[in-house]
Amino acid sequence: MTEQSCFLYRTMQLIRVCEEQLARCHARGLIHGACHTYVGEEAIATGVCWRLRPDDAVFSTHRGHGHALAKGMPPFALIAELFGREPGCSHGRGGSMHLFSPEIGMMGASGIVGPCILQAAGAAYSFQLFGGDRVAVAFFGDGAVNNGAFHEGLNMASIWKLPAVFVCENNQFATEVPFQYAAGNPDVASRAAAYGMPGIQVDGNDVLAVAEAAEEAIRRARSGGGPTLLECKTYRTRAHAEGMGDYTYRTREEVAAWRERCPIRRFRAGLITSGEATEAELDAIDAGIREEIRKAGEEAERAHWPRAEAAAAHVYAARSRAHAPEPVVDSSPRPPISLAAATLEALDYEMERNPRIFVLGEGIGARGGNFGTTAGLFAKYGAARLRDTPISERGFTGLACGAAMAGARPVVDFMFIDFLNDAFGEIVNQIAKMQYMSSGRLKMPVLLRGCIGIGHSAATHHSGSYHSIYSHIPGLRVVVPSTPYDAKGLFTHALRCDDPVLFLEPRELMSTKGAVPAEPYEIEFGKARVVREGRQATVAAIGPMVQRAAAAAEALAGEGVSVEVLDPRTVSPLDTPAILASLHKTGRLLIVDEAFGPCGIGAEIAAQAADAGFNDLDAPIRRLNGAFAPTPYSPTLEAAVTPPVDRIVAAIRALIEE
């Protein structure tokens, strides 16, 4: 047998035997959650992975056992993961739908349909940026091709000629919904034309046909020829998930007919017919695999459980280095610069020293960004590192996720945080969770930046303040600077830390100027700044409200009222100790945030203060928020939805009178 035949036969059989063993284990109760088997589709993962190297990346689906095994994951790591054991490939954090083994290029299975396409495009982007000839592959089902991620991902891969292969495993059902019903154009391969890339359709149950088409696509990707869409027609012959009924949406006859078209039996017959292998040789391989899987299963059953204490480990990257401290004295005094200029300075400095940083966004290339956030950088670092994007917020956010997984440091410039909400799922389900799901083996240094805040009649799609929503999510850092000095230090830290960061710049403060040291420095997250010291009340103000709170405190100082103003600077992590320390001093706490009140960061601060600071409270905790309404356009309406200085003054006064 040739090396290829041996790999193809052995891999397909390994997948089959392992899946059947897992199905039995599921019935025995050893698998605690879902179990989606790959039975009937083995030829696709096997044929595609035949020409992939360990340093190529595979992004998989909820039906990912076959991809993991074909990419080289030992069966024991897969089985133990489904058993929920510590030596499992995701250390028990994932199960069937979250298989991670980045060291062999298995970049994760996923419970969400679509993102793997964007992530493969992102990894491909990194590979292209770093040079070399690595390739990223996305496996996805027919269900994913009617998802926006397919459209956005293939389009971006095409315009930037990314080294990616998009493998559609068309098994004809998206869970139980027939693709014939769900697709206006059920010919997936033909859709490639819409994106200007080759689209190839093959019999997904013919491993040689798959291997041949994949080899061609991989070669094209490696050689800079860009992406390929490969549609592999196939059929899953077990239920969508183990334990589910299977004959409400398809017939026993249809399933039985497809079993007859078993890719392994077909390939085996070919090997024997051509004389490449004998029945006995193949039987011996089969017996060996059965023994291997049996042993792996037994070993997995004996494997130890993860320790409960580890349940919340790896949410954030471990700190691995000292940071550049803030300058004690500014060594090079110079005229004040704006907040936007401060972050630009930080970005420029970091891009120069770290070639893995690149920027994605609309108009951030030659134009230099809507707010001048990348002004002058395009000329310096070129198109690959200052990448103008199509208006595909979800797409390029998912792409940034994949790029970070593959080792780059993407900066995504949204202009306005309102646009970032279109990428909510990519941020919350993927970027935020990736470090945890990979048990810390993947780092996710993604910097997502955009403006927040009400003003200039920007109306409701250019004025949101959604920091509270994202501070609710474990795995994210949420930064809201309010001065040029803080913005530079926090931005520099964001570009050097390994966690995903939302950097939310108050738009009304973008052009405010302040003293900023010329040299690079970092401000760690979770360290509040005392804007003004006071004794009678603490005002914790967020982002654009910091200046107003300071103005209110100044006005009250004239009346002999002493107010302490605190700028948390990051809402996740939140500097609770600093807030409590101030409350301990003053006994009163007002939180001023332009964002909506309910479930906001003010509610969180209030809850923490009421809990840990209960005995310090000399008055109820108060919040002052923007109106619970979308932002209106007309200046009179707009002014009515954001807290002005005089209302802050009144709120502080009322608090002191309580």
CA distances to 348, 458, 630, 639 from 633, rounded to whole Å, are 35, 6, 10, 10
- CB nearer to another protein: give 187 or 658: 658
534 binds another protein per the rule CB under 8 A: no
Among the listed ranges 86-94, 128-136, 226-234, 616-624, the one in contact with another protein (CB under 8 A) is 616-624
By CB under 8 A, the residues from 88 to 107 that bind another protein are none
Q: What angle do CA 100, 102, 104 make, to 5 degrees?
A: 110
- CB nearer to another protein: give 499 or 616: 616
CA distances to 333, 500, 533, 606, 617 from 583, rounded to whole Å, are 35, 31, 12, 11, 7
Which residues are CB-contacts of 28 (< 8 A; sequence separation ≥ 6)? none
Q: What angle do CA 463, 395, 574 make, to 5 degrees?
A: 50
| Signed CA dihedral, 593, 599, 603, 604: sign only | negative
Give the type of residue at 16.
Answer: R
176 binds another protein per the rule CB under 8 A: no
Q: H-helix or E-strand containing 230?
A: strand 228-233
How many residues touch another protein (CB under 8 A)?
A: 9
CB 443 within 8 A of CB 317: yes
By CB under 8 A, the residues from 234 to 263 that bind another protein are none
Q: At what angle do helices 645-657 and 545-557 cross, to 10 degrees?
A: 60
CB of 612 to another protein, least distance (A): 12
CA distance 598 to 575: 21
CB 243 within 8 A of CB 24: no
559 binds another protein per the rule CB under 8 A: no
Among 619, 627, 637, 645, binds another protein (CB under 8 A): 619
CB of 611 to another protein, least distance (A): 12
- CB nearer to another protein: give 114 or 587: 587
Residue identified by tokens 């691995």 is 320
Among 616, 624, 625, 638, binds another protein (CB under 8 A): 616
- CB nearer to another protein: give 22 or 656: 656
Catalytic residue among 36, 91, 462, 467: 462
Is 652 exposed, middle or buried (CB count within 10 Å of its CB: 0-12, 13-18, 19+)?
buried
Among the listed ranges 12-20, 291-299, 378-386, 610-618, the one in contact with another protein (CB under 8 A) is 610-618
CA distance 40 to 337: 63
Which residues are CB-contacts of 75 (< 8 A; sequence separation ≥ 6)? 14, 18, 69, 292, 293, 296
CB 74 within 8 A of CB 279: no
Q: H-helix or E-strand containing 348?
A: helix 339-353
617 binds another protein per the rule CB under 8 A: yes
Among the listed ranges 31-39, 361-369, 387-395, 609-617, the one in contact with another protein (CB under 8 A) is 609-617
456 catalytic per annotation: no
CA distance 365 to 385: 9
CB of 628 to another protein, least distance (A): 22
CB of 531 to another protein, least distance (A): 23
CB of 63 to another protein, least distance (A): 56
Among the listed ranges 19-27, 85-93, 94-102, 615-623, the one in contact with another protein (CB under 8 A) is 615-623
CB 510 within 8 A of CB 324: no
CB of 556 to another protein, least distance (A): 17
CB of 619 to another protein, least distance (A): 7
CB 210 within 8 A of CB 202: yes
- CB nearer to another protein: give 575 or 616: 616
Among 87, 587, 600, 626, binds another protein (CB under 8 A): 587
- CB nearer to another protein: give 603 or 619: 619
Among the listed ranges 156-164, 285-293, 613-621, 627-635, the one in contact with another protein (CB under 8 A) is 613-621
- CB nearer to another protein: give 11 or 536: 536
CB of 601 to another protein, least distance (A): 23
- CB nearer to another protein: give 464 or 587: 587
- CB nearer to another protein: give 151 or 588: 588
CB of 657 to another protein, least distance (A): 7
Q: What angle do CA 573, 577, 583 make, to 5 degrees?
A: 125
614 binds another protein per the rule CB under 8 A: yes
| Signed CA dihedral, 213, 214, 215, 221: sign only | positive
560 binds another protein per the rule CB under 8 A: no
Among 274, 320, 332, 615, binds another protein (CB under 8 A): 615
Among the listed ranges 128-136, 243-251, 376-384, 611-619, the one in contact with another protein (CB under 8 A) is 611-619
CB 267 within 8 A of CB 9: yes
618 binds another protein per the rule CB under 8 A: yes
Torsion angle of C-alpha atoms 614, 616, 619, 622, degrees rounded to 10: -70
CB 234 within 8 A of CB 202: no
The catalytic residue positions are 462
Which chain residues interact with another protein by CB under 8 A?
587, 614-619, 657-658
